[in-house]
């Protein structure tokens, strides 16, 4: 049986987060994502900003990702990830908490000017570093879709709505589907 549209989006998310492409997510993947994001925002590696980004990604690992490790091997397989993320919709309260951790990690990582939102240039820098397989044109197009009110910034609420749609919506036209670039229906 083929994967649903939502399962394909979730699997794509896994592939992009698997920084070393070893077929598993680990704490090391989160640390590598944090380093890339802090570098993209221009934060010196020993700065408070870089530590804040690192801490946000470690919270992402501890709160959201590590509990997905159902076999206790310290790594999350693609199957564990897809099953856990699709299961989040069954627990709306837990899902909201987990989603908040993910939103915080991305905004903390990309918000170079500390104004609580992502400008197009901040978004572009963050995504080019975090998801290097995405083309610049695709990231710019993604920003256009994810900036729901068209004000030139992605707020925490917009990012939260975008990630929620990406992970849960089977509407192929939902703006949140652009969270990780172009998705084929």
Q: What is the CATH number of the domain that holds 148?
A: 1.10.238.10
- Tokens (6 digits) for 86: 């699709």
For residue 15, tell me if it sits in a domain. yes
What backbone phi and psi angles, to 5 degrees, belong to 59?
-65, -40
For residue 175, tell me if it sits in a domain. no
For residue 58, tell me if it sits in a domain. yes
Q: What value does the mean pLDDT of the chain take?
A: 90
For residue 80, tell me if it sits in a domain. yes
For residue 112, tell me if it sits in a domain. yes
For residue 9, tell me if it sits in a domain. yes
For residue 135, tell me if it sits in a domain. yes
Q: What's the predicted TM-score (pTM) here?
A: 0.86
Residue 61 buriedness (CB in 10 A; 0-12 / 13-18 / 19+): buried
User: Residue 42 belongs to what domain range?
Assistant: 5-170
Residue 82 buriedness (CB in 10 A; 0-12 / 13-18 / 19+): buried
Q: Is residue 169 very low, low, confident or very high in pLDDT (cuts 50, 70, 90)?
A: confident
Q: What is the mean pLDDT of residues 112-120?
A: 94
Inter-residue contact 69 to 81 (CB < 8 Å): no
Count of domains forming the chain:
1
The per-residue b/e assignment along 156-182, b for 16 or more CB within 10 angstroms, e otherwise, is: bebbbbbbbbbbbbeeeebbbbbbbbe
Q: pLDDT by residue (tens digit) across 40-94? A: 888 999 999 999 989 988 988 998 899 999 999 999 999 999 888 888 767 766 6
Q: Which residue has the higher pLDDT, 15 or 91?
A: 15
For residue 178, tell me if it sits in a domain. no
What backbone phi and psi angles, to 5 degrees, belong to 77?
-80, 165
pLDDT at 180 over 60: yes
């Amino acid at each position: 049986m083929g994967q649903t549209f939502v399962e394909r989006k979730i699997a794509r998310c896994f592939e992009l987060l698997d920084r070393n492409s070893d077929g598993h997510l680990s704490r090391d993947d989160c640390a590598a994502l944090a380093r890339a994001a802090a570098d993209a925002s221009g934060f010196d590696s020993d700065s408070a900003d870089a530590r804040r980004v690192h801490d946000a990604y470690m919270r992402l690992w501890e709160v959201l990702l590590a509990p997905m490790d159902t076999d206790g091997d310290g790594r999350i397989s693609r199957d564990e990830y897809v099953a856990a993320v699709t299961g989040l919709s069954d627990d709306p309260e837990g899902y909201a908490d987990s989603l908040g951790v993910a939103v915080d990690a991305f905004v903390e990582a990309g918000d170079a000017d500390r104004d609580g939102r992502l400008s197009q240039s901040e978004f572009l820098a963050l995504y080019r570093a975090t998801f290097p397989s995405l083309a610049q044109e695709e990231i710019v197009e993604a920003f256009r879709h994810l900036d729901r009110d068209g004000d030139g910034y992605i707020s925490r609420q917009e990012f939260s709505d975008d990630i929620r749609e990406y992970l849960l919506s089977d509407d192929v036209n939902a703006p949140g589907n652009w969270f990780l670039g172009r998705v084929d229906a």
